[in-house]
Structure 1
């Protein structure tokens, strides 16, 4: 079975969702027969490489949400993260643009280093207050993950693997993905948000049993149209890379498991 996941490094729910998927698969009886493919997603494709404005204030202002509400939400996310072994330092988060980081991940995939690089980048942003849109920072983190500095600098000086990022974004738009994390199980069934481990595990087991049958609903997505709420981070727009409106998703409409 294949699991496709759309995720952005600059999305705290994506970090939690990734960890929940890892824990769910550890409990899945057929783990060795599951392949996970990670896809790029950008919550804000027009952002500057680095934005040092407090993330809480920026989100609260952008979506007209009281700052106290955003603080409470991030404090809850920190507790949820700690319960599964993650360290979410939300007060040190630095905004920016994740395009170069996604290109770098695609490059690392060709070298067999996708997992260590992704983990290093995610930890740097999620726990260490690093600006992953800064190219010097990306070079340092990539070297720590096992990549060669000169190769990383050459990549960042070009648009190499940009087509891979844009392809992921276009595919997300084509199937109607506007918020992350989004998990597509067996290329048919959509599950959105940082769902609890037990929900993901139940969904994976259902899809495993349904292989070869007609699509049926799996799990309800919890989310919103913009900002971060309900377990997902939403993009500002549901349009493809070329600016066209997103097509209706062929994945199954989610329903409560």
Structure 2
């Protein structure tokens, strides 16, 4: 089985979703037969390289929410993160543009260092308050992840691997992905949002069992759609959401949409979860 995942480094739900997928696969009986391919996604392609506007204030203004609502949401996310061994330091977050960080990860893939560099860059933003649009910061994080300094500096001096990022973004647009994280199982079935571990595990097992069969369609629902968490969680839209009966149900997952994160998304809400064809 192949699992394709679209995510943005500047998305706290993507960090949580990545960890949930790791834990789900640890419990999956056929883990050695599953390949995971990570794809770039940008929530805001027009953002400046570094944006020191407090993210909570920016999102609260964008979605008409109060700062108190944003604090409560991020405190919930920090609690969820801690429960699976992640350290979400939301008060230290710095905004910016993730394009160059995604290019760095594609470089790392070329050199067999994708996992270590991705972990270092994500931890830098998620836990340490690093500005991942800053080139000097990316050089340091890339070297700490195992890349040669001259290779990172050469990357950042030009647009190497930019085509890889743009290809990932174009493919996301082609198949209708507007929110992240989005997991595409076996190149047929979409699961949106930072779903709980047991939900992801159930979806993986379900799709594994459907291999080589003519599956029944599965009901829509799940993570936040194109408006992200600017309200209650709902289903996303697009080509991966061509669905009907036979639902997998559990607590709703939350994600970031193309307009960024915000609103009052509650991961504990009871909504149906999408495993959509």
**TM-score between both structures, scaled by the size of structure 2:** 0.84
Q: Which secondary structure state, in structure 1, belongs to the residue aligned with residue 198 of structure 2? A: helix
Using the TM superposition, give the Cα deviation of residue 254 of structure 1 relative to its aligned residue in structure 2, in angstroms.
Answer: 3.2
Does the 8 Å contact 1:8/1:14 carry over to 2?
Answer: yes
Contact 1:63 1:226 in 2 (8 A): no
Whether 2:73 is the aligned partner of 1:73: answer yes
Query: 1:104: Cα distance to partner?
Result: 0.6
CA RMSD of aligned residues (A): 1.6
2: CA distance, partners of 1:225 / 1:57: 21
Shift of 1:220: 3.2
1:100 counterpart SS class: helix
Structure 1 residue 224 displacement after superposition: 3.8
2:4–2:36 contact (8 Å) kept in structure 1: yes
Cα offset, 1:234, TM superposition: 0.5
- Counterpart residue number, 2:100: 100
Alignment of 1:82 with 2:82, yes or no, is: yes
Structure 2 residue matching 1:184: 3-state secondary structure: strand
Unmatched 5+ stretches in structure 1: 238-252
Q: Does 1:232 align with 2:233?
A: no
Are the counterparts in 1 of residues 191 and 222 from structure 2 also a CA contact under 8 Å?
Answer: yes
Contact 2:189 2:275 in 1 (8 A): no
Distance in structure 1 (CA, Å) of the matches to 2:153 and 2:24 = 36
Contact 1:125-1:131 at 8 Å conserved across structures: yes
After alignment, is 63-72 or 172-181 more displaced? 63-72
Contact (CA 8 Å) 1:191, 1:218: kept in 2 or not? no
Runs of 4+ in 1 over 3 A off after TM superposition: 227-230, 253-256
**1:63 positional shift:** 1.6
What residue number does 2:141 align with? Answer: 141
* Residues 67-124 of structure 1 deviation map (CA, whole Å, 9 limit, x = unaligned): 2111111000000000000000000000000000000100100100000000000000
